[in-house]
A and B are shown apart, each in its own frame.
Chain A
Amino acid sequence: MSELLGQTPSQTVGPYYTLRLFREGENILAPSGHIDRIVIQGTVLDGDRRPIEDALLEIWQANSVGRYHHPDDTRDLALDDGFSGFGRAITDFETGEYRFETVKPGRVPDAEGAFQAPHISLIVQGRGMLNPVFTRIYFSDEDEANRDDLILRGVPAARRETLIAQLVDNNVYRFDVLFQGDDETVFFDF
């Protein structure tokens, strides 16, 4: 095997990333009136359970039939015009709340020939974070699919709940991201 080049180290986005990395409307993947629209909202909390007021959240997801807008997803499933599956949100400087408007993704295959439960990949960064953290948003009204999900099954049972967005209203889910403590959100390495 030939020698690999060393990876460029990650550095924090710092406090000023909104100059480039967030523009109004990038948290809206499905506009209001969209038939399958859902809202995901929550806060990002630090080790003292104070809201992180300057976090950047990036989501990546399949569309409602489970197709990724990506050249490697060559499956014969329809793409939606104007739905990229990528969105960015920032937490509110006063409240620490973020909000995405999107669609619930369809199921995509796992590594063993079955289908995963519907989920959205989430990357969180911010001032004071030297690396991004990667997690997944699952849905509380997908119990059966969640039980069979290959990735969730690999998470210690006591921590799985941290990955499940709770349905709190019609098509509105709550998903908080917590750093540190017993209830810390599960972060992935892959």
Chain B
Amino acid sequence: MTEPMIRHYGPKAYTDHPPFSYPEYRSTVKRSPTHDLVRIVQTLSETTGPGPAWTEISDEDTDLTTNTGTGSPAIGERIIVTGRVLDENGRGVPETVLEIWQPNASGRYAHWRETEFPAPLDPNFVGVGQCLTDSDGGYRFTTIKPGPYPWGNHPNAWRPSHIHFSIMGRSLGMRLVTQMYFPGDPLIPLDPIFNSAPPRARSRMIATYDHKVTEANWALGYRWDIVLRGERATPMDEGDD
């Protein structure tokens, strides 16, 4: 029998990620583990992952301004969001599906659970898309700049404009769901979900305005790279913790 390829991935850098419990974001308090995580060796079950299989059956759907199929474009500020998915070694992560979802220009999600916020729905905008990264890890979406919206975390709480991104990854531990924020948004420093990330890592969630991406007479351009866990040459790199 041929031996399987056992790669080794570096650890999740918990110092770059939010804690499980962050009381300023109230819902985390009862939905977070209280025992320490149990550290295990990486077997084939961890070094493989659903990314490649998921990619195989996923179609591209990268223009959220037209993908409802109504024939009419969505209302709002048209933007281009582009960048690369990298591993922490700086290598592009190719042929991987990015799935995104977001509210419309008014800050309203086209979701049955949104019943409190009286902002208009846009029949020409659903707010979902997916993109397959190219051989360099590059991706590109055209969408509408999402609006901020209120939520029930604390009095007069508002989420800054953001787009949700989901990546399956080639190995199980590369699984990442995160949010992309917009530069200069005054709501960012007030947002407990953004602030749950350690200070040194927060700016990695904010896109950069890039005039080279902006298309004349069409759409403003934003650039945002996403960094996932990466392979290590040997398990020795990670110490004994």
Contact = CB atoms under 8 A, between A and B. Distances in A.
Interface of A: 1-2, 4-21, 46-48, 50, 52, 58, 60, 62, 68-77, 84-86, 108-111, 116, 119, 121, 123, 125-134, 136, 150-151, 154-156, 159, 179-181, 184, 186-190
13 contacts: A6-B88, A10-B176, A12-B25, A17-B101, A60-B45, A60-B172, A72-B47, A73-B48, A111-B42, A111-B43, A129-B28, A134-B172, A190-B41
A48 B30 contact: yes
Interface stretch (B70-78, B107-115, B132-140, B210-218): B107-115
B49 A70 contact: yes
B43 A130 contact: no
B12 interface: yes
Contact of A19 (B19, B25, B110, B229): B110
B28 to A, nearest CB: 5
A129 B238 CA distance: 26
Nearest to A19: B101
Interface residues on B, range: 35 or more
Contact of A8 (B19, B50, B57, B226): B226
A76 B1 contact: yes
A21 B99 contact: yes
Contact of A109 (B4, B33, B89, B204): B4
Interface in B13-53: 13-14, 16-20, 22, 25-35, 37-50, 52-53
B5 A121 contact: no
A131 B33 CA distance: 11
B228 A86 contact: no
Contact of B11 (A11, A69, A130, A189): A189
Interface of B: 1-7, 10-14, 16-20, 22, 25-35, 37-50, 52-54, 56-57, 86-90, 99-101, 103, 109-111, 113-114, 126-130, 164, 166, 168, 170, 172-173, 175-179, 193-194, 196-198, 200-202, 204-205, 226-230, 237
A139 B39 CA distance: 21
A131 B4 contact: no
A9 B4 contact: no
